[in-house]
Amino acid sequence: MKALSVAVVTLGYSLSVFAQSIPFRCPAPAFSDVVRELDALKLRTPASLSTDVSATLRSAEAFQSTWLLDKKGHIQGVSTIRHGLEDVLVARWAGPPNQPQIRNIGMWDGAMYELVIFELDPGVIASNKSIRDFLRTIIKPPPTKLRMSGPNAQALEDGFGFLRPTTSDTERWQGQILRMPTHQVVGYDEEFFTFHEIEGRVFLVFDFGKRAGWPPQSIYVSDRFPPLSAVIKDWPKQRLLQEVIKPDHQEVCWDSSIAAFSDEFRLRRDEILIAELVRRGLDTDEFREVMDSLNGRCLLIPALDSARQTARYTDPILETIRRYESRPDVNQRIEPRSKGVTVLSYLADLIRVLPTRGGPDFADAMLQLIAADHEAELALNYIYERVSYSGNSADPELADKIAAVKVPAALEQKRNFTVAVIRARLKTP
């Protein structure tokens, strides 16, 4: 696609495929491999689909409707396969009876991308005009005429553009669809398509990048059929613990171009594993192991809160606060050299996820941290957020304690405001 982003300028407008796009893109397999896999598959009838496959199929079709008109005839079959390190959902529909140019419509749905594949009559790609005329029958028109930013703004009447690729074995045309009335943010809400010719067969492939919130589970979890959350219910607890506490992730990102996001793959997988551990219950040693794991500080307490189990683990949480307070990284921040997330201390990570809307109250522990100037700002933020929530009771003694505690000069205004909030709530009937 780099060739497209450079060469499309010659059409009078500039389209960028730089990785700022909102859809998260994971390169799909070589299309010739996809065709070979689809041709060899034995598809099942929709009546025999599992709940998770049906949910994913509905989600995929709903997303397609954002970009494409529904041209699918009756569904011919569905299947799931393990391709590399991810589960893939494949499906095929007959073409519409009133548009014989479309022989069938296929779908190859990976964890982070979705291919919608039209097998076409070869005459569709006979000329620039025949291609444009056909695309107008399947691509949803843009809500308004697009104005492309650049030295000389150009109108993009159809909401898409295409050109011939410079080098490719099977690609005959490449293009992009855009969906912004004013395209000022490069790479925002755009999708790609290509025309392929393989052994006399012609295919139009739409390569859709998925959003992080893709249902029914995160796009960063590639165990999909059945979902990882269902698979691990049969695992012994020790296996769950080993998966969570090991320093490296067993399932590496399946493409080097997105390896920078490998932390997200581990985080979302651990999120599912820790939720299952919480469902089964943790003893004191297990709690400590999970909390001290790579993502435990960010995930364990939110999982307890979601399961309404935080109060059960109040003592282990307080013990963890005391342990982390003695670590040398308290009050330290590691700023990344390039764009990235600032690394906080273990204690700071823990304070940030303590529940502030209901659940056990850790205000006394936070007051001790403030008095010791150990992550004092975050500790005060916790108290402020907790007392500001109307669902929590207001404690007059807490207001006096906060007023009496010594805080760094930069936090005095916030401390005084927190005291005022508590006292104002006490006066409110």
Q: Tell me how far apart the alpha carbons of residues 17 and 346 are, in angstroms, rounded to a whole number.
A: 38
Q: What is the pLDDT of residues 37-53, one digit of tens each?
A: 888 888 877 777 888 88
> Which range has the worst mean pLDDT, 93-97, 183-187, 218-222, 381-385?
183-187
What is the reported pLDDT for 275?
A: 97
Does the pLDDT at position 73 exceed 80? Answer: yes
Nearest 5°: the CA angle 153, 155, 159 is 125
Rounded mean pLDDT, 334-362: 86
DSSP 65: H
In 3D, which of 303, 242, 244, 294 has the Cα closest to residue 269?
A: 244
User: How high does pLDDT run on average in the chain?
Assistant: 83
In 3D, which of 209, 220, 272, 276 has the Cα closest to residue 251?
A: 220
259: number of Cβ within 10 Å: 11
Write out the E strands in 110-188. 113-120, 146-148, 154-156, 160-163, 171-178, 182-183
DSSP 334: B
What is the reported pLDDT for 140?
A: 87
Q: Tell me how far apart the alpha carbons of residues 428 and 199 are, in angstroms, rounded to a whole number.
A: 78
Higher pLDDT, 218 or 77: 77
Q: What is the pLDDT of residues 208-237, one digit of tens each?
A: 887 655 556 778 888 899 999 999 999 999
What is the reported pLDDT for 417?
A: 94
What is the reported pLDDT for 182?
A: 47
All structural domains of the chain with their residue ranges: 2-209, 235-307, 315-429
Rounded mean pLDDT, 262-278: 89
Rounded mean pLDDT, 189-195: 86
**The model's pTM:** 0.80
Q: What is the pLDDT of residues 403-413, one digit of tens each?
A: 999 998 999 99
Q: Tell me how far apart the alpha carbons of residues 84 and 346 are, in angstroms, rounded to a whole number.
A: 36
What is the reported pLDDT for 336?
A: 66
